[in-house]
Amino acid sequence: MRRAYLAAAVVIIVAAAVAYSALSASVIQGGPAPVEVGPPDLASLPVVSASEIESAVIPREIADSNNAFAADFYRQVSGEEGNIFFSPLSMYTAFSLLYEGASGDAVAELEDAFGFEPDARARHNATAHAIASINRDDPHAELALANSLWPFVGDVVPEYLNVARSTYLATIEDPGYNESAENRGDEPARRINQWTSDMTNGTITGIFGPNSFPDPILVIVNAVYFKGTWETQFPPEDTEKNDWHGEGDAEADYMNVVGAFDYAEYDGLQVLRMPYEGDRLSMTVVLPEPGGMKELEESISAEQMAVWTDGTSKIIVDVTMPKFTASTKYSLNNYLKALGVSQIFEPGPNVPLAGIYHGAVVGRADHMAFVDVNEEGTEAAAVSAALVASVSVQPPPPQFKADRPFLFLIQDDESGAVLFMGRVSEP
């Protein structure tokens, strides 16, 4: 038996009315206009042919923009205490969906923060290929991305819904909202919470409560889920408890293995890349010298991350890694404002989301993520024993001992896109 690496993330964007009292009661009580539910088959889209689906790769322009946003967002949250974990891809995709309906000054703000392609045809083509790549069949790992839209009113712009369905493969869901009901938020909360739980295999639940929908227009939800197994397993019998050198006194359960990994050393840094089975996805761990985390975090950029991942070479390494689990939640409004995105949150003459609904702004935007690293299995013990024997007459391999705070990236190695990113401060 073996335990897999597990990661999941959800982004929720709630578009609310600027002046709810101005909406027609008949529009609200009538609920969403009928829309064909469910996305079309990807093979039917003109931007991705049937023969391309199984070989689709995340386009370089999306990978580069996503990674630049990942570095920018990490710097925003790096001052927080404790563990950090988020999916830049989930946020990038959710706000790309929102961008499809942006108008006025909000368009340029979103382009600057996320690097979105202004040309609609090029953007839709790249997005369709990215989603095809993420969701393609993989016998070695589970990787999936899903989008859904939950219209609370009947006159969300139809063209916006059509783009969401055809390009982003979003499902159009009925929130079950009844304006006249005493507990009108209960059913939408239950339905959206169930969808996110289903899409993340039960790892992210209970996002919304019954009072989560003041003046609702539309809820945009993106979910990313990943489950994979290390290519080189950690023998469970070698796991041992030892000191963790973070803030305060603590202990951690450390997994140990000697194996062939991509590895590099820089001034004050060790970098280790650990692939998952199938060699499409990997985790890169960046371990600063004691006391060096602040300097490392200040240097983070998309270019620096590329240096870390591209500068390694395969050698035998003695690896010590803690098991860790983290569950995080970020309210994105203030973080995005710090990155220059403000118009979508502010009612005013610019009408920031006219392509979705004329009187809408973003009321709230939240990101939730979960990660679990806990590896064990008998197959790993046999592989490890063989590797140890093969180096017994060689010079001692370098030690990669992650017994202090470190940064990690989960990447799609075909494109370099960062799917998940985080910092372990408290395993």
Query: Which of residues 249 and 344 earns the better pLDDT score?
Result: 344
The full set of domain ranges for the chain reads: 5-228+325-372, 236-323+375-424
Torsion of Cα atoms, 135 then 136 then 139 then 141, to 10°: -30
The single residue listed with the structure tokens 């990787």 is 143
Mean per-residue pLDDT for 46-68? 80
- Angle formed by the axes of helices 120-135 and 88-99, nearest 10°: 140
Element (H, E) at 399: strand 399-401
Question: How many angstroms separate the Cα of 370 from the Cα of each of 70, 72, 325, 326?
Answer: 17, 20, 8, 6
Please give the distance of CA 178 from its chain centroid, rounded to a whole number: 32
310: pLDDT strictly greater than 70? yes
Per-residue pLDDT tens over the stretch 116-145: 999 999 999 999 999 999 998 888 888 999
Instruction: Give the CATH superfamily of 5-228+325-372.
Output: Antithrombin, subunit I, domain 2 (3.30.497.10)
pLDDT on residue 4: 53
**Residue positions counted in the chain:** 427
Per-residue pLDDT tens over the stretch 142-177: 899 999 999 998 889 999 999 999 999 999 999 988
24: pLDDT strictly greater than 50? no
Please give the distance of CA 379 from its chain centroid, rounded to a whole number: 30
Per-residue pLDDT tens over the stretch 291-302: 999 999 999 999
Cα gap 273→262, rounded to integer Å: 5
Please say whether the structural domain 236-323+375-424 has been given the CATH code 2.30.39.10: yes
Please give the distance of CA 68 from its chain centroid, rounded to a whole number: 14
Q: Over the Cα atoms of the chain, what is R_g? A: 23
Least confident of 27-36, 175-184, 292-301: 27-36
Mean per-residue pLDDT for 111-117? 97
Please give the distance of CA 189 from its chain centroid, rounded to a whole number: 22
Cα gap 246→324, rounded to integer Å: 14
Q: What is the pTM of this model?
A: 0.88
Least confident of 86-95, 159-168, 366-375: 366-375
